[in-house]
Structure 1
Amino acid sequence: MTRFTRKHNRIGILTSGGDCAGLNAAIRAVTFRAIEQHGLAVVGINDGTAGLLERPVKQMDLTMKVFAGNYLRMGGTLLGTVNKGDPFAYPMPDGSVKDRSAEAIEGFRTLDLDALIGIGGDGSMRILSRLATQGRIPFIGIPKTIDNDVARTDFAIGYMSAVDVAVDALDRLQPTAASHRRVMVLEVMGRDVGWIAIAAGIAGGADVVLIPEVPVSMAKVAAKLKAVSAQGRNHALVVVAEGVRLPPETDLKADCRSAGGIVADMIAEATGAETRVTVLGHVQRGGSPNAFDRILASSLGAHAADLAARGLSDRIVIWDRGKIVDVPLSSVAGQTRALKLDGTLVETARRMGICLGD
């Protein structure tokens, strides 16, 4: 566990990577706890690491007055964020990439901060951890991502709100599917993991859920949908993660259709069913955080502020079996947390008769 000595009684905070519901709640919690309990000043760095490259650095003072209004309930991030601004391979106007990490570190130094708190996903944690190590910046991480694939933590900020959006979509698709005797295919985010897809599929009563962790046999999918029809039901719901592992002959990158669109066409060909596809896309990132994400963000943010006040760094705060704890950043940065095929969600899906394509 790395320790540092506070010299300025000022900490910085930034958001990095894709936005999600609950980021403002986490920023609010850090600010409240740091100011009220520890007497620290809090500086918000705008636009993630890209803000550190600006001169002067893009920043704003975070005070209790800033959060007197509606930020707890608001989606997005009041600080702004970037997901293509890796300072170690920064995209330049001429198409080249440049290592600007030294500039980012210099930008941090100009703010006279004792430590930096970063709210990000697995990719952001890898970049921020590397930047902190190179610049000897005391750093504390807070996990956020709708994909829920940050290692060690049971939940990342934004995940459960995204699941709620997907379940609401299934609730709306089911009656129209029944009215028109259709198979409705819902594509959700999940490039590398299927956390959103499988949770939404269970909660939304899906018949088929296709996730990156399980290679898909369209014959198995077709058999499931035919079995549903044989039982007398005139419609079905299929959830597809965008990173689904389709048969080898299917080239997602070369095909102009979405993953959900490809699956819908395959189902129509294999079963003769009329299909429609809905791609949720960035709808899953927006909107107000649900109650759980507000609680999670508040708990993680307050704990992160406590670590900074105690002079502890190279840690990331996590939700572990109902408790907020902190673990070494090195055990999380750059890791991906996929669904376990013997885990609770996969087992529950199978017990409920949901076809996973295998």
Structure 2
Amino acid sequence: MPGDRIRRVGIVFSGGPAPAANAVIAAAAISFLEDGREVIGFFHGFSNLVAWDPVDHRLVADEHYRRLTLADVRGIRNARGVLLGTSRVGPGAEVRTLDDLDDPARTGNLRRVLEALDAMEIDALVTIGGDGTLRAAWLLYEYQARLPEDSRRVAIVHLPKTIDNDYRGIDFTFGFFTAVDVMAKEVENLRADAAATSSWFIIETMGRKAGWLSYGVAIAGEADLVLAAEDVDPTLTIDGTASGALDLDRLAARIDLAVAAAEARGKHHGVVVLAEGLADRLPADIIAHAGRNEQGNLAQGTVDLARLVAARVTERHARRTGVRKRFKSLQLGYESRSAPPHAFDVMLGSQLGIGAYRALVEEGLDGFMVSVTGQLDLHYLPLHTLVDRTTTRTEIRYIRRDSDLYRLARFLEERTDRGPQWGPGRRRE
């Protein structure tokens, strides 16, 4: 077969946890092991590989990695968490352009990763992770292309992972439907609480810059309104332009408009879902003191968008009605990342794991991402088609406002009232 030279395979899981992570790891490992190939599972993402040194930080079995056996990976498809652990350490963070790959000062981490893999006689590396891991996989591939022709190469295959579902090249990522299901059930609980207390909840969900997770949660959880970065248009910005900073007062007005419409129907309670990515559109003075992640980007959860918005909506509603109504805020997300995986996520993750074997061994591919289409049919995309070669950044996939999913959410959010047409009614505040 094309991949006969591959005798030892490394697996790295990087970034945030996602339901069905172990289904991916297990399917990949079993495929290679049953074909007589060794599998090395590296602990905690790239962290130990980046720190490798032939003298001061040699990799130690069962401390930095494990030589996986069938007994390690059978029967774990539905197990929570990540068998190998994870981290957000990524090689190539210092690389800003392709020319930087020729700069030894900027490629130290990439070099150390490859030297560590070479020292362990790894023939192929399977990376599992989000867009940062995709970028790291692409940089490892591109960096090797610049090495002397007689250099030992490590074949690179990437498997897409994120509960945010904002990945180009695949319709749905494993873990997405589980995360939606977990948070949608929370929204259902809050809907019942809101009805009992005649109040509203402003919920902020994970999802980074795109609205996939918030839209899924709102649709499945029967929220009364969902707003994400895709919804920011000139009517919601400070300067009235599509690219302007988000105006919290205008956002509050948009939400209060939905609240007023519900009240006109006799409904005095509900749930609004906001995507955390809206925080990226806030003015600099509001996010100046927010936290930053390892890459220096805004840690959106530290902004506490839901709390800021709930306070503005409370004031606006009080001015409109003369009633001090309760708008309570809550952030959702972490509780979904290691939840028991949804059946579809297990199926999808397992297929992607097997796809790593088929890409490397049966197809002899290098520098590709495994994807699926239709009824989980495998196909493979060159990594360079998923990364902007000028900026070296991946492209986020947003919900299109002309898509049927977007139209579905808009249709359903005004149809959350339950029959029969009686109940405790509006509570005296």
Partners of 2:187 and 2:33 lie apart in 1 by 42
Paired residues of 2:184 and 2:221 also in contact (CA < 8 A): yes
Is the CA contact (8 Å cut-off) linking 1:214 and 1:245 kept in structure 2?
no
| In 2: Cα distance, 1:247 partner to 1:281 partner | 20
Structure 1 equivalent of residue 58 of structure 2: 56
Cα displacement (A) at 1:248: 5.7
Computing the radius of gyration from Cα coordinates, the structure with the larger value is: 2
1:48 is paired with a residue whose SS is coil
Q: Is the Cα–Cα contact under 8 Å of residues 6 and 114 in structure 1 kept in the other structure?
A: no
User: 2:256 aligns to what?
Assistant: 222
Please give the per-residue CA displacement for 1:150-170, whole angstroms capped at 9, x wherever unaligned: 111001121111111110111
| Gap change, CA 1:64 and 1:118, over 3 Å in 2 | same
Aligned AA for 1:329? L
Taking the aligned partners of 2:18 and 2:281, their CA distance within structure 1 comes to 31
| Equivalent residues in 2 for 1:242-253, closer than 5 Å | 242-244=276-278, 251-253=285-287
* CA–CA separation in structure 2 for the residues paired with 1:306 and 1:239: 40
Q: d(CA) in 2 for partners of 1:183 and 1:255?
A: 28
> Does 2:306 match 1:263?
no
> Is residue 379 of structure 2 the alignment partner of residue 325 of structure 1?
yes
| SS class of match (1:65) | helix
Of 189, 197, 200 in structure 2, the residue corresponding to residue 180 of structure 1 is: 197
C-alpha distance in 1, partners of 2:289/2:196?
31
Name the CA distance, whole Å, in 1 between partners of 2:385 and 2:398: 15
1:353, distance to aligned residue in structure 2 (A): 4.1
Q: Tell me, in whole angstroms, the C-alpha distance in 1 between the residues paired with 2:137 and 2:367.
A: 10
Aligned residues of 1:4 and 1:138 also touching (Cα < 8 A): no
Secondary structure of 1:109 counterpart:
helix
Matched AA of 2:125: L
Deviations 1:282-335 (A, max 9, x none): 112122211111011001111111111122111111122333211111122422
Counterpart of 2:131? 122
Deviation at 1:250, TM superposition (A): 7.8
Q: How does 1:62-73 map to 2 (within 5 A)?
A: 62-69=68-75, 71-73=76-78
Give the TM-score taking structure 1 as reference length.
Answer: 0.89
Distance in 2, Cα, partners of 1:60 & 1:315: 25
Give, in whole Å, the separation in 1 of the partners of 2:383 and 2:411: 36
Aligned 8 A contact 1:43 1:61 in 2: yes
Uncovered stretches (5+) of structure 1, i.e. residues with no partner: 91-96
Count residues in correspondence: 346
**Aligned match of 1:232:** 266
Task: Report deviation, 1:222.
Answer: 1.2
Contact 1:13 1:45 in 2 (8 A): yes
Secondary structure of the structure 1 residue equivalent to 2:277 = coil
**3-state DSSP class of the match of 1:221?**
helix
1:294 to 331, 338, 346: 346
Superposed CA deviations along residues 63-90 of structure 1, whole A, max 9, x for unmatched, are 1111234x22222211111113435449
Identity of aligned residues (%): 30
Distance 1:267 1:319 in 2: 42
In structure 2, stretches of 5+ residues that fail to align are: 96-105, 145-152, 237-249, 291-302, 319-324, 388-393, 416-429
Which of 283, 289, 294 in structure 1 is aligned with 2:335? 283
